[in-house]
């Protein structure tokens, strides 16, 4: 998924438009169903990084909201055994 790869690239960039783009990507990915256990794992790792090293409060809040609902995601339930 290109949004996940973009978030992974952006997670260590700060300043400029990076915060707005990270928020947008987190929102999109929070609504998306990922197609593999590997992608779910990558998404979780990216969220943890973005939350720990957030550009600002809004980015942190978006990551925390996505993490709060993580266990209820359909793709997480689908790949639970592999995760």
DSSP type of residue 70: G
Determine the pLDDT at residue 33: 97
Determine the pLDDT at residue 20: 97
Determine the pLDDT at residue 15: 85
Determine the pLDDT at residue 16: 85
Determine the pLDDT at residue 81: 93
Name residue, tokens 């925390």.
64
> Residues 12-70: pLDDT tens digits?
999 889 999 999 999 999 999 999 999 999 999 999 999 999 999 999 999 999 999 99
Report the alpha-carbon distance of residue 2 to residue 61 in Å, rounded: 23
Count CA atoms closer than 13 A to 30's CA, side-chain side.
17
Is the confidence at residue 1, as pLDDT, over 90? Answer: no
Are the C-beta atoms of 48 and 67 separated by less than 8 Å?
Answer: yes
């Amino acid at each position: 998924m290109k949004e996940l790869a973009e978030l992974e690239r952006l997670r260590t960039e700060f300043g400029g438009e990076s915060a707005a783009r990270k928020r947008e990507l987190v929102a999109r990915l929070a609504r998306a169903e990922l197609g593999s256990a590997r992608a779910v794992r990558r998404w979780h790792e990216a969220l943890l990084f973005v939350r720990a090293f957030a550009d600002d409060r809004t980015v942190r809040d978006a990551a925390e909201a996505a993490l709060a609902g993580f266990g209820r995601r359909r793709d997480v339930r689908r790949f639970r055994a592999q995760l």
